[in-house]
Structures are given as structure tokens and as C-alpha cells.
Copies of this chain bind each other. A is one copy, B any other.
Amino acid sequence: MAELRQATGLLRVETPGQALVEIGRDVARWVAAQGMDEGLLTLLCRHTSASLTIQENAAPAVQCDLLAWLVRIAPEDGHYRHDDEGPDDMPAHIRAMLTGVTLSIPLIGGRLALGTWQGLYLVEHRRAPHHREIALHLLGA
């Protein structure tokens, strides 16, 4: 049995404003470069107005519906106390809290153990384009 080791990294993501941005390919490339077959990948989105989700990767309409639902459930005109960073800031915090900023994914047989229809996304909740960072940790052998 190969000895366990770990690797850490940082993934930079450019977002176009409010959107689900596919990050699965970049993440898989970084994982492959660490040369492990079995292990555990952890991702942390280092922001409070963007988040991470694992969601349907086939039908683009699903992503539109997810974003529209988040806008409806945490709207811009929500009578928030915190409004000094623009009307889209506080709802972005709420949407990020709901969807979460950390994910852990087993690596099995050299591949992330995601299901067939599962894609990996950074969710940008602000209206404007942003530079985002995801911290990566891989444990394995």
C-alpha cells in the first residue's frame, strides 16, 4: 500500500457576473497532476458572495432555473440593513450561505467519484464580473 501524502493548491476563476461557472475540468486537471489514484479532494471558495455547488451538467436550462430561484428567494429589494456595497451584495451573502463554500469529493480509481450528471460549479452571486479563488487540498496515494 502506497504511503499517504497530501497536496495543496489555488485555483483562480474569472466570473462574468451572476452565473454558474464550470470548474470541473480545471479541478480534474490539477488533481491529475498530483498523480494519485485514491484519495479525498476538498475545495474551499474563499469568498462570501460566491459559493460552490455540484449540479446537473447536461441541461443548461437547469442552471438558469437555479439562478432565477436564488434571486426569487433572496431578492435585491429585501429591506436589508447592510446595503453599503450595493443592492446585490447582501442577497449574494444569503445565496452563498444557502449553497455553501466547501465541498469534499472522494477520488476513486484515479477519477473524482462524481455521478454521470454531476458537474462542479462556482456560483457567482454578484452582478459584476469578479476574480475568485478556490483553495484545494488533496489527500491520497
Contacts and interface: CB of A to CB of B under 8 A. Distances in A.
Interface of A: 1, 3-6, 8, 38-40, 42, 44, 46-48, 53-56, 59, 61-62, 64-66, 69, 73-74, 78, 80-82, 84, 90, 93-94, 96-108, 113-115, 117-118, 133, 135-137, 139-141
Given A81-B65, A93-B62, A4 B6 contact: yes
| Number of copies of this chain that the complex holds | 3
Given A62-B90, A115-B48, A103 B106 contact: no
B74 A69 contact: yes
A59 B53 CA distance: 25
B55 A93 contact: yes
A74 B97 CA distance: 15
Nearest to A65: B80
